[in-house]
Amino acid sequence: MARYTGAVCRLCRREKQKLFLKGKRCLMEKCALTTKNYAPGARSRFIRKLSSYGVRLREKQKARRIYGIGRGISCKILEKADVNSDTRVKDLAEDEISRIVDVIRSDHRVEGDLRREVATGVRRLMDIGSYRGTRHKRGLPTRGQRTKTNARTRKGPRKAIGARKKKMVLPGQK
């Protein structure tokens, strides 16, 4: 699954609780959850009830909203913190939550630190003039994918080239 690059306040509204993905803004009155206390895309404030599978899926995905934590790392964190992976987020005790937070803080780089580290690595590649760095500069795929027909995500929408009309040549003219 690809990395989510959309609006993070939308995720808070979807989960119906503050995930603090925007930092200090989540504590202000401008927080999307306080201004629009309904799910994104809902035409009205009346929302259908999720199935039991949908509820379990949402609970499982809540932990993965943090940049740098995916399915594999979340399982390792729960194992290291000695927390049952089948426990729902709302049923976690305070000591379990604190153990999970301690493991994340001590062993993993997440959110701003990880983004900064990745950006520094990309900037270093561009500065030394490596092939991958030039591909990053041009906004093209960096890992050898074909670009003649694909790579629309990196390149953006197609641009029309050579869309001029041909001059009509009448008989007897050059």
Judge: domain 1-48, CATH 1.10.3720.10: no
Same fold? 1-48, 112-152: no
pLDDT tens per residue, range 10-69: 777 777 777 777 777 777 888 887 787 777 777 666 667 778 887 777 776 776 777 888
Q: Where are the domains of the chain?
A: 1-48, 112-152
What kind of architecture, by CATH, is found in domain 112-152? Irregular (4.10)
- Determine contact, residues 141/151, Cβ cutoff 8 Å: yes
pLDDT tens per residue, range 67-82: 888 888 888 998 999 9
Global pTM value = 0.56
pLDDT > 90 fraction of the chain, expressed in percent and rounded: 15
pLDDT range class, residue 162, cuts 50, 70, 90: low
Nearest to 20 by CA among 70, 67, 77: 67
